[in-house]
Amino acid sequence: MELHRLTILEARNLLEKGEISPSELFGAFLARIEKVDPLIKAYITICEKEIEDIVEKRGKLYGIPIAVKDNICTRSIRTTCGSRILENFIPPYDATVISKLKKEGAVIIGKTNMDEFAMGSSTENSAFFATRNPWDLERVPGGSSGGSAASVAADLCVASLGSDTGGSIRQPASFCGVVGLKPTYGRVSRFGLVAFASSLDQIGPITKDVADCAYLFSIISGFDPLDSTSYPIESEDFTKYLGRGVKNLRVGIPEEYFALGVDREVKEVVLRAVELLSGEGVEVLEVKLPHTEYAIATYYIIASAEASSNLERYDGVKYGFRVGDYRNLDDMYVKTRTFGFGKEVKRRIMMGTFSLATGYYDAYFLRASKIRALIKRDFDEAFRKVDVIITPTAPTTAFKLGEKLEDPLTMYMSDVLTVPSSLAGLPAMNLPCGLDSNNLPVGLQIIAPLFREDLLFTVGYVLESLVPFERKEVPLGV
């Protein structure tokens, strides 16, 4: 039995029966990481001693090795955000989602690589190294949760947590051929998530299948008084929505999402999956989301403005990196931030500061906020006609390492199909639905109304049973 291939539910069944032990399972993954991760580079930190902490915690995740994106605080485990400025930062507390995992007996096996402060679409913006796609080591895994998606795809953990601001769970899940969920904004606590854009950031699961996604989401979701943006709605067992029929459900297909530079093969694979759904009694309707074309510009103004504010705290005074050679306080600020932040982070801080500046606020940030409201209204109108919306997750499959690194505008367009639902705060899930001619995964995105993650799991579970997609043993036969 190849233990590293197990899903959460499969591993849980074996652990409960006593057919394997937590130490045996954890050891199998450490051995897999030692063998494979030098090729993938999914992990920044590997937690080899974490197994010692689980002892008698026989919860819903007893003994399950989970990887965690490195912008989610973990007590006594380094949390770098993929940045030099936090390279040696060790949080004194756990994020709420980590506390929930530990309460259920999960084992944190490592912290995964990411674009610095979650700013990027390829995991090439990490201060430490680029992560590679397990399907093709010359390609990116997507970003910013590239390490989390790659670790699941390469069987370097059972499941992982990522964060999604404008597509940072869904797009890498698409590129790596795994399931990734961005929950409704406020459905999962952000306490302990290092902030990028506070009105957009959400933590979510990345898993090997839809059932695992529903199971893990049931554990990490729910109201948290420590998070002022947490919505007062308790979690539930979302696995009860698996296996429900989809007959008479209405699925919307937005024409705008099949025109925005979407690769022909990606479009064909996604529409083929929708045809399979229609065979199950689903009604497929066209819907219009007319303000979609403004979403990328709107997102980068709002997200950069919030990042500019959130990243002010990294000044070398209280914690994090500080340069050793400086003349005075101002010089220390400048040198610390110049050396500590990478190119993309500096770019977004400058964009955000500019859009908030006196004389430019109305023209940029205020206008973007108004367009954000229009984008949300588009979705509200569409959901009066349909139950869920299906689109491609990304315009292309995984691109080559270095291909877009020096062209930020082209890189930003990688998120053109995920950003609108983030601006509207909606739940959305990536599901692998086939391969292109290069044998790379194509991702399908399901978008639901606010707090209707149940619909994502219902539709996703049926689609998963209809679409012939087998996870590849990666990398390259290792």
* Residue (of 131, 116, 81) closest to 343 by Cα position: 116
- 184 φ, ψ to 5°? -55, 140
Question: From start to end of 264-400, where are the E strands?
Answer: 283-287, 388-392
Quote the DSSP letter at residue 365: I
Q: What is the separation of C-alpha 439 from the centre of its chain, rounded to a whole number of angstroms?
A: 23
Count H helices and E strands in the chain, helices first: 14, 11
Q: Which token pair is 272? A: 């083929």
User: Other CB atoms closer than 10 Å to residue 250's CB: what's the count?
Assistant: 15
Angle of helix 453-466 relative to helix 210-220, nearest 10 degrees, comes to: 160
Q: Are 478 and 39 within 8 A, CB to CB?
A: yes
Q: Can you list the alpha helix ranges (DSSP code H) found in 6-164? A: 8-17, 22-40, 96-103, 146-153
- For residue 454, the number of C-alpha atoms closer than 13 Å in the C-beta half-sphere is 12
Dihedral (Cα; 328, 333, 335, 341), 10-degree rounding: 170
Known catalytic residues are 69, 144, 168
Helix (H) or strand (E) holding 20: none
Greatest extent of the chain over all pairs of C-alpha atoms, in Å: 71
Burial (0-12, 13-18, 19+ Cβ within 10 Å), 197: buried
Q: Can you list the alpha helix ranges (DSSP code H) found in 357-447? A: 367-382, 408-412, 419-423
Q: What span, in angstroms and rounded, lies between the C-alpha atoms of 120 and 410?
A: 12
The residues, any chain, with a CB within 8 Å of residue 38's CB and separated by 6 or more, are none
Q: Can you list the alpha helix ranges (DSSP code H) found in 92-156? A: 96-103, 146-153
